[in-house]
Amino acid sequence: MTTQVVYRAFGPKQVRQLKEVYECARAVKAKYPESHLASKAAKRLIDAFEAELQNDGTVLDVCWLTEADPQGTA
């Protein structure tokens, strides 16, 4: 998935929200041990963001969320 496709599917506000969710999940995973419920939930979120393939079989660029720099207005 390219950044252009992401911006067509989601607006700048939604991309910022997704990026915040991803960053918070990474922080939670780093804070708690792997056996903790919050760490397990955070891992599931991170895995969903970093999935190699989408449902339609296209390759997902795993860096799209961390490199997103929304432009424009919501």
Domain boundaries, the chain: 3-67
Q: Read out DSSP for 39-74?
A: HHHHHHHHHHHT-SB-TTSPBP-TTHHHH----S--
pLDDT at 72: 57
* Tens-place pLDDT, residues 31-50: 999 999 999 999 998 888 87
Nearest-angstrom CA–CA distance, 38 and 30? 10
CB 43, CB 50: distance < 8 Å: no
pLDDT at 56: 59
pLDDT band at 13 (very low <50, low <70, confident <90, very high): confident
Burial of 15 (0-12, 13-18, 19+ CB in 10 A): buried
* Tens-place pLDDT, residues 48-71: 887 765 555 555 555 555 555 555
pLDDT at 36: 94
Residue type, 68: A
| pTM of the predicted model as reported, rounded to 2 decimal places | 0.59
